Structure 1
Amino acid sequence: MSYKIKLLPIVHTDLRKAKKWYHEKSETLAQEFKIEVNKEIDYIGEYPEHYQRKYKELRQSLVTRFPYAIFYLVEEEQKQIIVFGVLHTRRNPEIIRERIKK
């Protein structure tokens, strides 16, 4: 059974910035990035507990072909996934911990 996916507003900003960066390199690359992120989010919706916990209940999934990680939380009772961020893997994961506290 698929879980409902909820992206926090800041996630849209993360994605916009990343896609813009890739678009400056190549329009095709930007589209491929978008496709891979969407595939990974769909996979998380189907198999939310596939990835291990990284910080308390927060899980991390890596995007295929791109150095980005999706940080999310599983709300089992509501059958919902909350995505807290899509960040480049070189960025400090402390950013996500701060988002959780808000």
Structure 2
Amino acid sequence: MGRGSRPASRCGMRVSLRFRPEFASDLDAGRRWYEERSPGLGAVFAMECSRCLARIQRNPDWVAADADGVRSIRLTRFPYVIHFLLEDDLIVVLAVMFGGRDPSAWRGRA
């Protein structure tokens, strides 16, 4: 690649998702927390996570990677972050966690 060149974008490609087993419990914990505060809000949280995952799947390169290759995107309506890795044409979803939580809670999943 020449100077200033980037690899071809995966924009528009449908990249497969694979979830770490812990992701389901993260999602359920967040959903329950919001549901306890306001009935129906847990479902809204889960739908927001689904929308964010669909956005990631449509264009995973849109999110920059950190030094370890982990990409993180904040949910629009909730203070939660989805953390994922991009491995060729596979997205490995590591966690969905409260944005203020200590990163060591999910870093070992990478």
Matched, 1:61 2:101: no
When the two structures are aligned, how many residues end up with a matched partner?
A: 98
Aligned residue number for residue 99 of structure 1: 109
Contact 2:45 2:78 in 1 (8 A): yes
Q: Distance in 1 between matches of 2:71 and 2:28?
A: 22
Per-residue deviation, 1:22: 0.6
Contact 2:94 2:109 in 1 (8 A): yes
4+ runs of 1 displaced by more than 4 Å?
A: none
Aligned residue number for residue 53 of structure 2: 41
TM-score if structure 2 supplies the norm length? 0.84
Aligned residue number for residue 84 of structure 1: 94
Per-residue deviation, 1:27: 2.2
TM-score if structure 1 supplies the norm length? 0.91
3-state SS in 2 of match to 1:61 = strand
Q: Distance in 1 between matches of 2:63 and 2:105?
A: 20
Q: Is there any run of 5+ residues in structure 1 with no aligned partner, and where?
A: none
Q: Distance in 2 between matches of 1:75 and 1:16?
A: 26
RMSD in angstroms over aligned alpha carbons?
Answer: 1.0
Flag the structure with larger Rg: 2
Matched, 1:32 2:44: yes
Q: Distance in 1 between matches of 2:109 and 2:24?
A: 14
Identity over aligned residues, as a percent?
Answer: 30
Q: Distance in 2 between matches of 1:23 and 1:87?
A: 16
Q: Distance in 1 between matches of 2:105 and 2:14?
A: 28
Aligned residue number for residue 71 of structure 1: 83
